[in-house]
Amino acid sequence: MKKPLNSSSQSSPKYKILHIGAEVTPFSNVGGLSSVIAYLSKSLLKKGHDVRIFMPRFSFIDEKQFPMEMVFEGLAVPTGYAEGDGKPTELICNIRKHVTEDGIIVYFLENMEYYEKRSNVYNYSDDHVRWALLSYGALQFISEKLDWKPDIIHSHDWHTALVPNIVATKYRTSPFFEDIATVLTIHNIHFQGKSVDPSSELNFDDGKSQIPKFFSGRLKTLNFLRRGIIYSDLVNTVSNGYARQILTREYGSGLDKLLTELRSKLFGVINGIDYEKFDPLTDPLLPANFDINSIDARSENKLSLQKEFGLKEKAEVPLIGYVGRLDQQKGVDLLLEVLEKFLKDFNAQFVLIGSGDNGYEKAAQRLAKKFPQIVGVHTFPNFTLPKLVFGGADMMVMPSRFEPCGIVQMEAMRYGAVPIVRATGGLDDTVTDFDPATLNGTGFKFKDFDGWSLYGQLVRATETYRNKETWRKIQENAIRQNFSWTEVASKYEDLYKTAIHYKQEGFFHGDLFEL
C-alpha cells in the first residue's frame, strides 16, 4: 500500500481531532470498534493532541459512573422536510459532556426516541435514521454551538460514514469546514448500511445523489459506506493486509472497484492493544503472574484453566484455546469440524470461550460432550475467563474466513500463547510463521480456508510443542512483539498529515461535487 506522509517526532504538528462513532469503550461495548476509538484517542492525547469524541447517549450508560453535564439543550437537527409535508421538520436533541480520567472530552447526543429508549446499540429497523441523526447532529453541534474547531473529523465504519458526504455537500461553502479534513476508517467492509438487495437497480446507490430526507424510504437504501469512501479525504482500514484484500472481488463486498479507483487515498494501519490492561506481569486475573523471564510460571495458570473447565490436569498436554465470537467470519464451523477429527488421534486439549450463532454454540457443546475431560466450552459472555486462557493455554487458534485486523492473536502473544491462524488480513500482518531452521517466527499460519490446511497446522504446532526449548523460543518471539497503541497513534499522525495535505490540494474532489 502507498505510504502516508511522515511526521517526525520533532516536527509533528498537534491536531484537534474529533472521533465520531456509534460505540465507544467504556460507555458502550459491542465490538472491537468501541475499543479502537477509546484506545486510539487515549494514545493520541498522550502525544499532545486535543482529542474529543462524539457518540450517542444510550440509556444504559450509567450517569453515576460517568457524570455528565448539559452543554447544549434543544439542538434542532433538520430532517429535510418542510412544513406541510406531514413529517417532523426537526429532531430535537441535547448535548451532554463527560470528561474521562485521561482528560478526553466525550460529547453525547441525547435523543429519547432514537437512543435512550433503545436497549441495544444496533439492529433496529430505523438504524439508517439513527445514524444519519448522529452524523448531522455532530456536524451541526461543532459548527454552530461549540467554540472549538477540529482539524480532523475521524468517522468510524458505516454508521458515521455520511459525515464526509455531508461536509463535502451541505457544508461545501461553509468557511468553518473549508480546511477540516475528513478521515474514514473501515473496520469491516461487510457492513455498509444498506438494508435492501443491492442487485436491484432501483435500490442501487451510486453515492452521488443528494442524501434523502430522514424518513424517506430512499434513505434506507443508501450505501453509507460507499458515500464515506467517495467523499472522505482519506480512507484507512485496520491492517495493510485487509487494505489489499478489499481491492479484490472476493473480499470487497461490492466496493472493490470503487476502492481500486480511489486506492491512492486508501491506507492500512493495524490496530493495537492496551499494554497496561494486558500485562501478564501485573494482571490480577491470573493465578500466577509472569513475564518473558519467568514463562515457566504459566504452568500454574494452565492447571487452573484445566481445573476451571474440568479437564485432566496435566501440564505436559498441549492445550489449544479459542476466544471470540461464534460466527461464520471466524471460521468456527471449520474449527469444530477439524477438531473432532484431530482430537481422536492426538493427545491434546481444547477450551472455547465465546457466544454468537446458536447453531455454533450447540455444536461446541456437543463436542465437549463427545470429548469429556479433553474439551471445555463456555458459550456465555465472560470478561474474566479470556485472560486465563491467554495466560494458560499453549496455543490460540483463529481460522477466520476473513479478518480485518483481529485483536485476540495480539493479546495471546502478549501472554505467551502461540497463535495458529489463517493467513488473512490482520492475522497475516501480525503473525510470522515459525521457521524451524532459523527459530524465527511467532506462530503457525495456513493459507487456504479448508480443513486439511488447518489440520496440518494443528499437528505441526502440537508436534513442535514437544520440543520445550524450541517452544520457549517461539513464546519469547511472540511476547517481544510490540502492538502498543503508542505505535499505532504515531501511524495515525502520519495519516492525519496526509489527509490535511489531500484536503488542501483538493485531491479526489473536483467535478464530483458538482451536484
Which tens digit of pLDDT belongs to each residue from 234-280?
999 999 999 999 999 999 999 999 999 999 999 999 999 999 889 99
In this structure, what DSSP letter does residue 149 have? Answer: -
Who wins on pLDDT, 4 or 499? 499
Q: Are residues 475 and 327 in the same domain?
A: yes
Q: Are residues 476 and 490 in the same domain?
A: no
In this structure, what DSSP letter does residue 112 have? Answer: I
Q: Is residue 366 part of a domain?
A: yes
Q: Is residue 286 part of a domain?
A: no
Give the model's pLDDT for residue 510: 46
- 3-state DSSP assignment of residue 446: strand
Length of the chain: 515
Give the model's pLDDT for residue 52: 98
Q: How confident is the model at residue 511 (pLDDT cuts 50, 70, 90)?
A: very low
Query: In sequence order, what E strands does 134-252 have?
Result: 152-156, 181-186, 234-237
Decide if pLDDT at 209 tops 90.
no
* Number of C-beta neighbours around residue 146 at 10 A: 16
Give the model's pLDDT for residue 10: 54
Who wins on pLDDT, 194 or 42? 42
Q: Is residue 67 part of a domain?
A: yes
Q: Are residues 504 and 372 in the same domain?
A: no
Q: Is residue 5 part of a domain?
A: no
Cα(496)–Cα(278) distance, rounded to whole angstroms? 28
Q: Are residues 62 and 101 in the same domain?
A: yes
Measured in degrees and rounded to the nearest 5, phi and psi for residue 140 equal -65, -40
Q: Is residue 390 part of a domain?
A: yes
Give the model's pLDDT for residue 514: 41
Give the model's pLDDT for residue 299: 96
The rounded percent of the chain whose pLDDT value lies above 90 is: 87
Q: Is residue 2 part of a domain?
A: no
- 3-state DSSP assignment of residue 298: helix
In this structure, what DSSP letter does residue 6 have? Answer: P
List strands edge to edge, sheet with 16-20: 69-78, 90-99, 105-110, 50-56, 16-20, 152-156, 181-186, 234-237, 266-268
Q: Are residues 232 and 155 in the same domain?
A: yes
DSSP calls for 316-372: TS-EEEEES-BSTTTTHHHHHHHHHHHHHHS--EEEEE--B-HHHHHHHHHHHHHST
**Region for residue 506 given its phi and psi (left: phi exceeds 0; alpha: psi -120 to 50; beta: otherwise):** left
Angle at CA 330, nearest 5°, toward 220 and 234? 55
Give the model's pLDDT for residue 81: 93
List, as own/partner pairs, every contact residues 380-388 make where C-beta atoms lie below 8 angstroms and the sequence separation is at least 24, other chains included: 380/355, 381/355, 382/353, 384/285, 385/308, 385/353, 386/323, 386/353, 386/411, 387/283, 387/285, 387/286, 387/415, 388/285, 388/286, 388/287, 388/301, 388/304, 388/305, 388/308
List strands edge to edge, sheet with 395-398: 375-378, 349-353, 319-323, 395-398, 418-422, 444-446
Q: How confident is the model at residue 196 (pLDDT cuts 50, 70, 90)?
A: very low
Q: Is residue 278 part of a domain?
A: no
Average pLDDT, the chain: 93
Give, to the nearest 10 degrees, the angle between helix 451-465 and helix 332-345. 50
- For residue 126, the enclosing domain spans 16-272+486-509
Give the model's pLDDT for residue 57: 97
Give the model's pLDDT for residue 32: 82
Overall average pLDDT of the 419-439 stretch: 97
Q: Are residues 312 and 443 in the same domain?
A: yes
In this structure, what DSSP letter does residue 427 have? Answer: H
Determine the straight-line distance between the first and last CA of the chain, rounded to whole angstroms. 31
Who wins on pLDDT, 274 or 12? 274
**Least reliable range by pLDDT among 17-26, 30-39, 180-189, 369-378:** 30-39
Q: Are residues 54 and 194 in the same domain?
A: yes
Q: Are residues 432 and 470 in the same domain?
A: yes
Number of independent structural domains in the chain: 2
Overall average pLDDT of the 397-424 stretch: 96
Q: How confident is the model at residue 11 (pLDDT cuts 50, 70, 90)?
A: low
Q: Are residues 473 and 492 in the same domain?
A: no
CATH code for the domain of 145? 3.40.50.2000
Q: Are residues 176 and 316 in the same domain?
A: no
Q: Are residues 211 and 141 in the same domain?
A: yes
Q: Are residues 230 and 322 in the same domain?
A: no
Q: Is residue 473 part of a domain?
A: yes
> What are the pLDDT digits (tens) for 25-65?
999 988 788 999 999 999 999 999 999 999 999 999 999 99
Work out whether the CA dihedral 402, 408, 414, 419 comes out positive or negative: negative
